[in-house]
Structure 1
Amino acid sequence: MNIVIINGSPRKNGATARILHTMEQQLLGKANVYVEFVNISDLEITPCNGCCLCYKTGHCYMNDDAEKLSNRIALADGLVIGSPTYASNVSGQLKLFIDRGHFVIEQLLHGKYAVSIATGENYGSSDTSKIIIKLLKYSGARVIGKIVCNLPFNKEPNETSKVTRQICELSEKIYGDFQTKRKYLFQTIIHKIIFTVGIKPFVKRKGENYKGVIDKWRTYQVTKS
């Protein structure tokens, strides 16, 4: 199993990173699991300029770290995204990648297993979690669970028994679900409605301007035509 873990925090040793590293170690203890840990702050990502050329060509003309990471996620079996809470939202660094990552329209996460991690010190962490989960589901992922962690600044999250338990449970679950190829019926139905009613007709109306999207769907086995 190939899993990409993204630390969406600009801090490499903050609460988000510590939770993600603990999950990384849990997963690496399982048979035939490879984990790529990515600190979003290490990447060179140019903001999306809204040209929509990627929908036609299948790739962004700005061949920077965003494009490379998106390609690696496409080859993965699972994805874990973590972010601190800034103004009841994900970090700016993570949002840059979300805008450039070819997630929703291209269905980058079709059939992949995913986990959301959101941290914060005050209110808003649940909003951040909802934003990440919405991204994952709309992109075609099977969301197996989440961690929403509120704690004081610079406090060690793994000192909290609840968080430690959740990390263990989610590590077991994402691995087990992949092994059994578990399908989440309710999520599948909701996603089918979103894709069939909202995304697919929109893309079809665009014709040749969205040819790259159709090609991605075939590659990801989202659709045959």
Structure 2
Amino acid sequence: MRILGICSSPKGSRSTTLRLVQAALEGAGENGAETELVDLCQLDIKYCNACQTCFKTGKCVHKDDFQGLYEKILMADGLILGSPNYFHTVTAQLKTLIDRMADAVHCQLLTGKYCCSLATGGSNYDQVTGYLDSLMVNFGAFVTGSAGAEMSKGPRALEEGERKARDLGRALVKDIRTKCDYAEQRKVQEGIRSHFKELVRMNKDNWEHEYEHWNSINWR
């Protein structure tokens, strides 16, 4: 079982978000998962230019670090996404990664995976975790849960956030092992899946790769 943790804070080793992601990975590792941490801000990932080449060919025109990370995401059984709250949303680095994954959402390539989100902020870290949780459901993944730290409440908030993140890492592994079914999330996913199947059908002459993908799985 592979769990990939992605931290998108630009603060490096000084990052409180990093501490939460590390705690979640520790919890997952304690329950037997193979874990890996990615510092997103150390990678060169260019902006999506909306050329739609990936829809047609399955490959991106940019030659950067995205493809290597994308392959790790697709190979992972579970994902842990962490970001500080920057003006009510994720950091630019994480948003750039998300924007490059348009082909993945069209093809619902995170189906069968489990995810959790972590965030820090002076207040309202749940603006970030709520966004990430909704996004992962849109990509086809189940969301085990989220945790965070409201730093305006002092050092104990971070300590409590780390404890919750460690528990969340353990819960993520349990969900993967038991193939936990979140009925409410699945209902949302079914609607999203139908939407993207119709979208790809409408664009089959231009989005050849995506049309072939859905054909290969019999439009299930």
TM-score, with normalisation over the residues of structure 1?
0.88
C-alpha spacing 1:217/1:20, structure 2 compared with 1 (3 Å): farther
- 1:38 partner SS: strand
Counterpart of 2:58 in structure 1 is 58
C-alpha spacing 1:119/1:54, structure 2 compared with 1 (3 Å): same
| Residues 204, 211 of structure 2: 8 Å contact kept | no
Counterpart of 1:115 in structure 2 is 116
Counterpart of 1:170 in structure 2 is 168
Letter in 1 for 2:174: G
C-alpha spacing 1:127/1:159, structure 2 compared with 1 (3 Å): closer
RMSD: 2.0
- 1:69 partner SS: helix
Letter in 2 for 1:54: C
Q: What do residues 35-68 of structure 1 show as CA deviations (whole Å, max 9, x unaligned)? A: 1110111100111111011100011121311122
Give the Cα separation in 2 of the matches to 1:156 and 1:106.
Answer: 42
Letter in 1 for 2:5: I
TM-score, with normalisation over the residues of structure 2?
0.90
| Residues 85, 118 of structure 1: 8 Å contact kept | yes
State the 1:182 CA deviation: 1.4
Counterpart of 1:224 in structure 2 is 218
- 2:187 partner SS: helix
Counterpart of 1:87 in structure 2 is 87
Within the alignment, does 1:14 sit opposite 2:12 as a pair?
no
| Residues 15, 154 of structure 1: 8 Å contact kept | no
Runs of 4+ in 1 over 3 A off after TM superposition: 152-158, 214-219
C-alpha spacing 1:78/1:216, structure 2 compared with 1 (3 Å): farther
Q: What do residues 173-197 of structure 1 show as CA deviations (whole Å, max 9, x unaligned)? A: 111111111111221111101211x
| Residues 56, 209 of structure 1: 8 Å contact kept | yes
Counterpart of 1:179 in structure 2 is 177
Give the Cα separation in 1 of the matches to 2:67 and 2:153.
Answer: 32
Q: Which runs of 5+ in 1 are unaligned?
A: none
| Residues 26, 166 of structure 2: 8 Å contact kept | no
| Residues 16, 119 of structure 1: 8 Å contact kept | yes
Counterpart of 1:130 in structure 2 is 130
Aligned ranges 1:133-152 → 2 under 5 Å: 133-152=133-152
Counterpart of 2:207 in structure 1 is 210
State the 1:216 CA deviation: 4.3
Counterpart of 1:192 in structure 2 is 190
State the 1:139 CA deviation: 0.2
Aligned residues: 217
